[in-house]
Structure 1
Amino acid sequence: MTVTVPSAVPPTVLREARVPEGGMYEGARTLRRLPEGWQERPYQHLELVPQGCTIGAEVRGADLARPLDPALREELNRALLEWKVLFFRAQHLTSAQQRDFARNWGELETNPLLARGSSEDVVRFDKGGAATSTFENVWHADVTFRERPALGAVLQLREVPPFGGDTMWADMAAAYDNLPQDVKDRIDGATAVHDFIPGFARFYGPERLAPYQDEFPPVEHPVVRTHPETGRRLLFVNTSFTTRITGMEREESDRLLRYLCQQAHVPEYQVRFRWQPGDVAFWDNRATQHYAVNDYGSHRRVAERVAIAGDRPF
């Protein structure tokens, strides 16, 4: 696939340059945190401590166990849109409090293929020790195989290993911004098929997956979606659930998807969070991908997640 490489390369080389098989190339990247024209305002009800250039901020001064007043909810939503993932230290929420906080952003949803947590609308990830390692070590956005993928999720760590077990998030607006223009032109208006089976077939056999095929048939979403609140353009394909680009020959689709999915791997687009017990992360699933790092050996890592229902990508 021919692309334009950074301007430091002599013009005579540009016509011959090609993206390496791994999908990466070197050079300066545009790291723009806010949408064009976005009016940045000070926060009156919370303190934000940035954890990355374009993505990730720790929120101080917010007690998630208490009901949110409208002013605080508005500022948290603005912070989510501006930073894409928010971190809250030492909240130690009950499952009911975690659900109540998430409901400030809409109806909740559950994934029947994941283990149920301590109460309704909560899923539990219990890893390490004798538990089977699943749903880690892959960049993805949650449930893009749904017609309306999740708006976001609220994750709390109940038990943290003595080392490792971090989670990383990638800014998919930055990933789109830095695509070469000819790639943007190629995917503008394109759609891709998303299917739950490839993402879960690594862990479950056909007999477990078969009952859900009617509930979750393959769906098509834009390769580049528009954020419904900010208007930002976002790369919206992922390794777990995106199977092919509509209307392309399989080989061409596979090659382009490999390249697009590799964009989440760029460190400049990422933030990494080191958990402590009771910490909470709240992320915008429309604008990010995430990756749970399984580097804690036989130690135990227990997390509970509440997901917020979203809208249809456009």
Structure 2
Amino acid sequence: MTVTVPRTGTPTLREARVPQGGIHEGVRELRRLPEGWRPQPYDLFELVPQGCTIGAEIRGVDLSGPLAPGLREELNRALLEWKVLFFRAQHLTSAQQSAFARNWGELETNPLLARGSTADVVRFDKGAGATPTFENVWHADVTFRERPALGAVLQLREVPPFGGDTMWADMAVAYDNLSQEVKDRIDGATAVHDFIPGFARFYAPERLAPFQDTFPPVEHPVVRTHPETGRPLLFVNTSFTTRITGLPREESDELLRHLVQQAHVPEYQVRFRWQPGDIAFWDNRATQHYAVNDYGAHRRVAERVAIAGDRPY
């Protein structure tokens, strides 16, 4: 609400006006579960919430061996309900990390990123002079693919003495809290996703040129439906979404700025402080994440395995 101050006398109130394109102030709806979803207890592990709607630590599970069907089912339910799961001190080999991820489907690789010890593993080795790939930016992984990743399993091999946390944002709650006017504008809309803007921040054009035919621009819904929960999800991100289809450039840019800002709301987030051997397993369909580069010249080594997904609808 704005206040007009007359030249003489007491301030008087006039009609409230909310700036367009900003993030609203005040109470937010923080609904963790989809409509009609009935919470059930977990019998095979202890689940410790790390946030209101997103993030849970799983205790009492060893990920180094095969998962029994019942355990896989409970972990999948926890993933759908909490969007990102944390497992402390697992210290998996690359083969064990990949085997765990395969419980959720085929694995995918990204030829633009450095490989680890096996073809399925991407290695992020950060320190003085390292390329700052996908740090300090909110994004979902590989939305420039026709079928973006279902999820990812990340393990920290080496942790700096301070900093280096990762944050995740709940994009279902982000959608819930959009104004009805914005929801009406994006209902049925699609957006273009392209790998070049995201990678051009740290790769030269000649490094990217060979992949333009492999990864042509694709269109995805601005609001995606989660294939397992049916929940609507805001599905645009700073790294790869370039424009909203059919809108004039200025209008598209303004609307996209508003939409990508939603990941920045603290109430939608969880932040994880790593220890060596920790695992994070997240639903890439329902979240965005942000790796915080606040550890100076110290080294941070992470390895990630990605699970192939389906085409958003």
* TM-score where L is the length of structure 2: 0.95
Of residues 264-273 and 124-133 in structure 1, the stretch that sits farther from structure 2 once superposed is 124-133
User: Which SS does the other structure have where 1:13 is aligned?
Assistant: coil
Is structure 2 residue 187 aligned with structure 1 residue 188?
yes
C-alpha distance in 2 between matches for 1:12 and 1:69: 63
The alpha carbon displacement at 1:118 in A equals 1.1
Runs ≥4 in structure 1, deviation > 4 angstroms? none
The alpha carbon displacement at 1:135 in A equals 1.5
Any residues of structure 2 matched to 1:69-218 within 5 Å, and which?
A: 69-218=68-217
The alpha carbon displacement at 1:129 in A equals 2.7
Is structure 2 residue 35 aligned with structure 1 residue 36?
yes
C-alpha distance in 1 between matches for 2:141 and 2:114: 15
C-alpha distance in 1 between matches for 2:112 and 2:104: 23
Report the count of equivalent residues: 301
AA aligned to 1:200 is F
Deviations 1:21-56 (A, max 9, x none): 5x2121100000000100110011011000000000
Which protein is bigger by CA-based radius of gyration? Answer: 2
C-alpha distance in 2 between matches for 1:183 and 1:132: 37
User: Which SS does the other structure have where 1:179 is aligned?
Assistant: coil
AA aligned to 1:285 is N
Is structure 2 residue 46 aligned with structure 1 residue 47?
yes
C-alpha distance in 2 between matches for 1:35 and 1:201: 37
Q: Where does the alignment leave 5 or more consecutive residues of structure 2 unmatched?
A: 1-12
AA aligned to 2:64 is A
C-alpha distance in 2 between matches for 1:92 and 1:130: 27
* TM-score where L is the length of structure 1: 0.94
User: Which SS does the other structure have where 1:149 is aligned?
Assistant: coil
AA aligned to 2:249 is R
1:245 is matched with which residue?
Answer: 244
2:6 is matched with which residue?
Answer: none
C-alpha distance in 1 between matches for 2:142 and 2:243: 16
1:6 is matched with which residue?
Answer: none
8 Å CA contact 2:131, 2:202 repeated in 1: no
1:17 is matched with which residue?
Answer: 18
User: Which SS does the other structure have where 2:15 is aligned?
Assistant: helix
2:8 is matched with which residue?
Answer: none
C-alpha distance in 2 between matches for 1:13 and 1:182: 19
AA aligned to 2:15 is V
C-alpha distance in 1 between matches for 2:24 and 2:31: 19
C-alpha distance in 2 between matches for 1:27 and 1:313: 32
The alpha carbon displacement at 1:120 in A equals 1.4
The alpha carbon displacement at 1:12 in A equals 7.1
Deviations 1:280-299 (A, max 9, x none): 00000000000000000000
2:275 is matched with which residue?
Answer: 276
C-alpha distance in 2 between matches for 1:17 and 1:42: 42
User: Which SS does the other structure have where 2:99 is aligned?
Assistant: helix
The alpha carbon displacement at 1:205 in A equals 1.0
C-alpha distance in 2 between matches for 1:229 and 1:25: 30
Deviations 1:62-87 (A, max 9, x none): 10001000000000000000000000
The alpha carbon displacement at 1:132 in A equals 2.6
| Percent of residue pairs bearing the same amino acid type | 84
Deviations 1:79-105 (A, max 9, x none): 000000000000000000000000000
Deviations 1:164-213 (A, max 9, x none): 00000000000000000000000000000000000000111111101100
- Give the RMSD, CA atoms, in angstroms: 1.1
User: Which SS does the other structure have where 2:58 is aligned?
Assistant: strand
C-alpha distance in 2 between matches for 1:69 and 1:77: 12
Q: Where does the alignment leave 5 or more consecutive residues of structure 1 unmatched?
A: 1-10
Deviations 1:239-268 (A, max 9, x none): 000000000000000000000000000000
Deviations 1:120-170 (A, max 9, x none): 100000001342322200000000000000000000000000000000000
Is structure 2 residue 311 aligned with structure 1 residue 309?
no
C-alpha distance in 2 between matches for 1:179 and 1:57: 25
Is structure 2 residue 222 aligned with structure 1 residue 220?
no
